[in-house]
Amino acid sequence: MKVDKTVIIITGVGLAIGFAEALIYYNLGTNANREKFKFGVPKGKELAKNMGVVLATSALTALISYQIEKSLEGKSGAIPVTT
């Protein structure tokens, strides 16, 4: 399969948003029992694991979106809306 630029764009955007979301959840978890909120970024293996999960889910989202778009192109070109 040739990699479409849409897949790259969706993966990149998903990676940026997913990493921001992961940082929010990380900080909510690490600050759960603290009185004062302290922002931090995971280090080492924990950062690598978080980035791996975010990259995998971003790439999967992009590939699934690409496949859905391609399957809809072969049909009428429009998504039917029912009310």
Supply the pLDDT for residue 6: 80
Quick: pLDDT tens for 29-53. 999 999 999 999 999 999 999 999 9
Supply the pLDDT for residue 27: 94
**Whole-model pTM over 0.75:** no
DSSP 80: -
Q: How far is CA 74 from CA 67, 79, 81, in A?
A: 11, 11, 17
Supply the pLDDT for residue 3: 64
